Amino acid sequence: MSASIQSFQLQKNKTRTISVTSGKGGVGKTTLISNLALTLSQQGSKVLILDGDLGMANVDVMYGLRAAHSLESVLSGELEIRDIIVEVAPNVHLIPGGGGVYELQNLSSIEKKTILDQVSQLNEPYDYLLIDTASGINDNVLYLNAAAQEILVVVTPEPASLTDSYALIKVLNKKYRERRFSIVANMVQDEAEAMQVYRRLSDVASRFLSVSLDYKGYIPSDSNLRVATKSQQLVLQSDPRSPSSIAIRMLAEKLSGYAPMGQVKGGMLFFWEQMIGVA
């Protein structure tokens, strides 16, 4: 192991890596992760977002920006990772995604070492790495989730969302031996409906799988959030006192206090090692 990577491990092992994922599209995942990152930064944390939603990479747009480069520029050798990182808000940085993310699984050993060396040389002491995955159960989605310390599944009251979320949890459990998942109910009327959504998913999972689902909170159906998202804005900025803004801040507080028992996964370098198949 190189000295730079050893140094990086000492500095970055405390970086919390959280994937934000869903079994079905259209559940508000990217909107949530964008606002969540801003909330964590406002609470004093430094956040790095990896936009891993292939073909639909749009986290930058939520912050009113358009990234000039993505991971594809890194894979082509045109740029290094530090060159493509964009500061989208104070203490919030973004690694723009793109079609090249999938290719990370098929790099040569030399290319893998180059990527790891570049990650190890990032000097920013990030508190969180948030990974915005695509929806569904394709290999790239599973890969990103399995590499993260915490898997945050966004689910809505729609039957299709519940069914697809269960399918995602099942595949991650069977294929990658993931046993602990965090659940956020989105687009619900109130906490009572959120708990109904959680219990429906938890009951089925506990009956057929050996997993633990942790209820982390809910985001209410809020016209302020819909208007902000449609305008490519963050509701925390456009209407910080709206019900959804309050709920997102509460979720951030729960996540920052999350201390899983028996956690064996490491920090940010571990995530990248797993994602490109080095570890």
Q: Does domain 15-262 have CATH number 3.40.50.300?
A: yes
146-203: pLDDT as tens digits: 889 999 999 999 999 999 999 999 999 999 999 999 999 999 999 999 999 999 999 9
Q: What is the pLDDT along the chain (279 residues), one digit of tens a residue?
A: 444 444 444 445 588 999 999 999 999 999 999 999 999 999 999 999 988 876 666 899 999 998 889 887 887 889 998 999 999 999 999 999 876 666 666 667 777 777 778 887 887 889 999 999 989 998 878 888 988 999 999 999 999 999 999 999 999 999 999 999 999 999 999 999 999 999 999 999 999 999 999 999 999 999 999 999 999 999 999 999 999 999 999 999 998 875 554 455 767 888 888 877 755
148 with 271: CB under 8 angstroms?
yes
Q: What gap in Å lies between CA 42 and CA 33, rounded to an integer?
A: 14
- Which pTM value belongs to this model? 0.89
Domain boundaries, the chain: 15-262
Work out the end-to-end distance of the chain between its first and last CA atoms, rounded to an integer number of angstroms: 12
What is the pLDDT at residue 6? Answer: 44
73-87: pLDDT as tens digits: 887 889 998 999 999
